[in-house]
C-alpha cells in the first residue's frame, strides 16, 4: 500500500470519528496554516533535517546524531488529542 493511500485511509476514518465541530476547527486551522505562507518554509522531500535533540516518550533526551549513527531515522510527532 502506498503512503498516499494509507494517509487517505486515515483521513477518511478520522473524519467519521471526529465530531463535526472539532473537524471544522481542524480544517480551519489547516487552511490558516496554508494561507500563512508556512509551506514556503517547510522542509521538502529530500531535504536534510537540521540536527535536533528531543525528549522521547520516557522523557529521555535523544539526539538525531545518535539515531543517525544506527541508520535511517523517521520522526513522528504526536500532538495529543482533540
DSSP codes of every residue in 1-69: --HHHHHHHHHHHHHHHS-HHHHHHHHHHHHHHHHHTGGGTS--TTPPPPP-EEE-TTS-EEEHHHHHT
For the chain, how many structural domains are there in total? Answer: 1
- Encode pLDDT of 26-35 as tens digits: 899 999 999 9
Q: Is residue 48 part of a domain?
A: yes
Least confident piece of the model among 12-16, 19-23, 60-64: 12-16
Residue 38 has pLDDT above 60, yes or no: yes
Q: Is residue 11 part of a domain?
A: yes
**Of residues 56 and 25, more confidently modeled:** 25
Mean pLDDT of 12-40: 91
Q: Is residue 79 part of a domain?
A: no
Amino acid at each position: 500500500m502506498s503512503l498516499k493511500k494509507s494517509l487517505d485511509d486515515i483521513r477518511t476514518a478520522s473524519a467519521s470519528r471526529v465530531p463535526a465541530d472539532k473537524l471544522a476547527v481542524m480544517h480551519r486551522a489547516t487552511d490558516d496554516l496554508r494561507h500563512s505562507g508556512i509551506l514556503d518554509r517547510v522542509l521538502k522531500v529530500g531535504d536534510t533535517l537540521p540536527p535536533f535533540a528531543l525528549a522521547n516518550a520516557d522523557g529521555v533526551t535523544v539526539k538525531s546524531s545518535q539515531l543517525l549513527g544506527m541508520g535511517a531515522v523517521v520522526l513522528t510527532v504526536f500532538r495529543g488529542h482533540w
